[in-house]
Amino acid sequence: MNIQKNYSTSIKKYTVRSVVIIGGGPSGLMAAEMLIEAGFKVDLYEAMPSVGRKFLMAGKGGMNISNDEPYNTFLSRYTGQGNIMASVFEKFSSVDLRAWLQELGIDTFVGSSGRVFPLDMKAAPLLRKWLYRLRSSGVNLHVRHRWLGWNKDSDQQLLFDVEGKICEVNADNVILALGGASWPQLGSTGSWVSILANQGIKISPLQPSNCGFEVIWSEYFRTQYSGKPLKSVSISLENISEINTCHKGELIVTEYGLEGGVIYTLSAQIRDEIALKGFVMIYIDLIPNISKEVAIAKMGRLRGKQSIANHLRKQLGISGVKAGLIRESIDPSCFSNAELLCALIKSLPIKLSAIRPIAEAISTAGGVSFAEIDQNLMLINRPGVFCTGEMLDWEAPTGGYLLTACLALGRAAGLGLINSFEVKVDNKLK
């Protein structure tokens, strides 16, 4: 990738070409790459002792960096901001992301679910190679710099807390890539919200996304099954639009309730309905690959002296945590009625009573409203200040969508800043 040949002629006409980026996650690092290749002096400031901490954590279970599904399906994953995200992905799609990774020396493959992974499934080698390239290109990284906002006496002077001391940094152009408010121990604290709100910037409240939900389990069930996976299940629910949705995947039973990929996919709908009603009923199909009619026929077979637990195991393959969940959720009298039992196994009602705290969520919804930024991702009321990444008001499920969007938005912010310089140069030359 060499964007300098596209921009160097106009950029050289500027006397000031320095940029401050605040935030060392994927968006901030990608913006830095765009700008350093275009000839800018780039200083990136990060509050934590090292950059990319949440990026590394996201790769612990296997680095799912993108998704190879059809474009229109891919775009539909971005709740409420499809049109805006479309313009971002037109310039940097999941295909472009894989090509970028290959340039970096990271080969990828597509899993059976369509998810894209580095060949070694790890985040650390990717980040090491990327940081080496950025440093070698001239990006200056400043860690342990917590942003406090602007000096009240100067709109171009940024204030940082550096291990208890106040540091002042002059900046004509700033890219904010400060993340959301999930996993604050890794740097995404959401402290920037009050700073920008005090500047009159409209911000949608930060909310948990891709998160767990609380269920009131019995003490026995909690003790016996916390941490156990419910594999190959599907969830359905009726949302506030009365549209039935069904998603297949895996759940994890926790001490507080349920989490896992299949519930993360529905987290936005569940969160909003809990806010409206105070609870949500979900319906779990424990045997999505077996029809209700087949299940009834199998459970109707004579079981002789077998226990109902053995009969469930032999006829429907239900045992362990699935069997425990059935006993936890339905009245014992239902076990004597094969038709009623199978109907419940195919649609087991579970009441979700609350959403887990935002600090535990994988990602966040809400953030800087897109109405506050122009086509270059620059704040309309703060010229020279750009916003990117998870701090903008969008959300998506897990499955590669989050990282792809953060990288694409970081690239868009970097190119947007370059484009704003081109416009200024053109105006000066006229």
CA dihedral 347, 352, 358, 364 (to 10 degrees): 40
Do 61 and 88 belong together in one domain? yes
Contacts of 134 (CB under 8 A, 6+ apart): 29, 32, 33, 36, 141
Number of structural domains the chain divides into:
2
Instruction: Identify the residue whose tokens are 């090491």.
Output: 128
Q: Which residues of 37-71 are buried (b: 16+ CB within 10 A; e: fewer)?
A: bbbbebbbbbbbeebbbbbbebbeeebbbbbbbee
Which of 355, 385, 419 is where one domain is finished? Answer: 355
Alpha carbon 291 to its chain centroid, in Å, reads: 34
Regarding whether 41 and 187 lie in a shared domain, the answer is: yes
Domain shared by 204 and 251, yes or no: no
- Name the pLDDT band for 10 (thresholds 50, 70, 90): very low
Q: In what order do the strands lie in the sheet with 244-253?
A: 348-352, 280-285, 229-238, 244-253, 257-259, 213-214, 354-355
CB neighbours of 337 closer than 8 A, spacing ≥ 6? none
Per-residue model confidence (pLDDT) at position 362 = 94
Q: Does the pLDDT at position 9 exceed 50?
A: no
**Other Cβ atoms closer than 10 A to 373:** 24
- From the list 239, 351, 347, 241, the residue with the least C-alpha distance to 295 is 347
Say yes or no: 199 and 72 in one domain. Answer: yes
**Residues 336 and 394 both lie in one domain:** no
Is there a single domain that holds both residue 220 and residue 204? Answer: no
Contact 355, 208 (CB under 8 A): yes
* DSSP-derived secondary structure for 107-134: -EEE-TTSEEEETT--SHHHHHHHHHHH
pLDDT confidence of residue 217: 97
Whether residues 9 and 36 share a domain: the answer is: yes
Instruction: Show which of 325, 355, 385 is a domain's final residue.
Output: 355
Both 303 and 408 in one domain: the answer is no
If asked whether residues 258 and 113 sit together in one domain, one would say no
User: What's the pLDDT score for residue 13?
Assistant: 35
- For the question of whether the overall pTM of this predicted structure is more than 0.85, the answer is yes
pLDDT digits (tens, 9 = 90+) for 106-115: 999 999 889 9
Using alpha carbons, select from 271, 296, 291 the residue that is nearest to residue 282.
271
- Tell me the residue range of the domain where 386 lies: 4-208+361-429
Helices and strands in the chain, H and E counts: 16, 20
pLDDT digits (tens, 9 = 90+) for 337-388: 999 999 999 999 999 999 999 999 999 999 999 999 999 999 999 999 999 9
Please give the average per-residue pLDDT across 317-332, as a whole number.
95
Q: What is the mean pLDDT of the chain?
A: 90
Q: Is 155 found in the same domain as 27? A: yes
Asked if residue 172 and residue 51 are part of one domain, the reply reads yes
**Strand 385-387 and strand 174-176: pairing?**
parallel
- Final residue in a domain of this structure, among 295, 324, 355: 355
pLDDT number for residue 58: 84
Task: State the alpha helices, DSSP H only, in 300-400.
Answer: 308-316, 320-329, 338-346
User: Are residues 53 and 182 located together in one domain of the fold?
Assistant: yes
Dihedral angle computed from the Cα positions of residues 359, 208, 190 and 408, in that order, rounded to the nearest 10 degrees: 120
Q: What is the pLDDT of residues 156-212, one digit of tens each?
A: 899 999 999 999 999 989 999 999 999 999 999 999 999 999 999 999 999 999 999
* Mean pLDDT value of segment 134-152: 96
Single-letter residue type at 141: L
Question: The domain spanning residue 165 has which CATH number?
Answer: 3.50.50.60
pLDDT of residue 82: 57
Residue 424: pLDDT band (50, 70, 90) is low
Look at residues 381, 380, 407 and name the one whose alpha carbon lies nearest to residue 396.
Answer: 407
Which of these, 357, 362, 355, 373, lies nearest to 403 by C-alpha position? 362
> What is the pLDDT at residue 3?
38
pLDDT, position 420: 86
